[in-house]
């Protein structure tokens, strides 16, 4: 059963919400505009708040749906965390869109909220606080990501699952490497 769910989580993660939303709303392909990234922040830049909100929610659902199914099937925490990784990888490397996807934060967050809402809430509170203070979306995501393994371990308490969360968090830093470079060069755009 787990291999089937892993495949499902990867495939649902591979549905590029940003590309589909932009196509439906007659907006440019987000992979060719702005930051060339298939994520809600880039959709916000090229299509506004409504398009970005739809993308954000859709990306979150891609992470949440496999985990909700896993809860229904009574999978354990480690198995669910493997599904988090699969959905995340689907978003970052989508098979349906030439393996060129987004940075994975929204899908990761949706999966975390479904796994344990307190873990997801910790991410959201951290992101909102940092965004309010520093007004930089990518930095908010990176700080929340940096703290996530701590939140996860303190709330869930599963060391092996926490290692998988650490792996995903390192991957998120990798997907944000261009943002990190801009942050060091003081060139990252702020939130209006």
HEC letters along the chain: CHHHHHHHHHHHHCCCHHHHHHHHCCCCCCCCCCCCCCCHHHHHHHHCHHHHHHHHHHHHHHHHHHHHHHHHCCCCHHHHHHHHHHHHHHHHCCHHHCCCCCCCHHHHHHHHHHHCHHHHHHHHHHHHHHHHHHCCHHHHHHHHHHHHHHHHHHHHCCHHHHHHHHHHHHHHHHHCHHHHHHHHCCCCCCCC
Full residue range of the structural domain in which residue 163 is found: 2-184
pLDDT of residue 114: 98
Domain-embedded: residue 46: yes
pLDDT of residue 192: 63
Per-residue pLDDT of the chain (192 residues; tens, 9 = 90+): 899 999 999 999 999 999 999 999 998 888 888 778 888 888 988 888 999 999 999 999 999 999 999 999 999 999 999 999 999 999 999 999 889 889 999 999 999 999 999 999 999 999 999 999 998 888 999 999 999 999 999 999 999 999 999 999 999 999 999 889 989 998 887 776
Q: Are the C-beta atoms of 37 and 31 separated by less than 8 Å?
A: yes
Domain-embedded: residue 60: yes
pLDDT of residue 98: 87
Domain-embedded: residue 192: no
Domain-embedded: residue 190: no
pLDDT (tens digit per residue) in 81-107: 999 999 999 999 999 988 988 999 999
- What pTM did the predictor assign? 0.93
Dihedral angle sign, alpha carbons of residues 4, 7, 9, 11: negative
């Amino acid at each position: 059963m787990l291999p089937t769910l892993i495949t499902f989580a990867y495939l649902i993660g591979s549905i590029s919400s940003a590309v589909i939303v932009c196509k439906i709303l007659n907006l440019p392909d987000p992979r060719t505009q702005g930051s060339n990234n298939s994520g809600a922040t880039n959709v916000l830049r090229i299509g506004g708040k409504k398009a970005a909100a739809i993308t954000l929610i859709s990306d979150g659902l891609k992470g949440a749906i496999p985990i909700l199914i896993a809860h229904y099937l009574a999978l354990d925490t480690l198995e669910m965390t493997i599904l988090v990784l699969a959905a995340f990888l689907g978003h970052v490397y989508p098979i349906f869109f030439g393996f060129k996807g987004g940075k994975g934060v929204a899908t990761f967050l949706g999966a975390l909220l479904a796994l344990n809402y307190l873990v997801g809430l910790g991410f959201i509170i951290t992101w909102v606080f940092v965004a309010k203070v520093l007004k930089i979306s990518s930095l908010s995501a990176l700080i929340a990501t940096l703290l996530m393994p701590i939140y996860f371990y303190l709330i869930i308490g599963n060391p092996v699952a926490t290692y998988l969360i650490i792996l995903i968090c390192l991957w998120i830093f990798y997907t944000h490497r261009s943002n990190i470079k801009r942050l060091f060069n003081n060139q990252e755009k702020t939130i209006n």
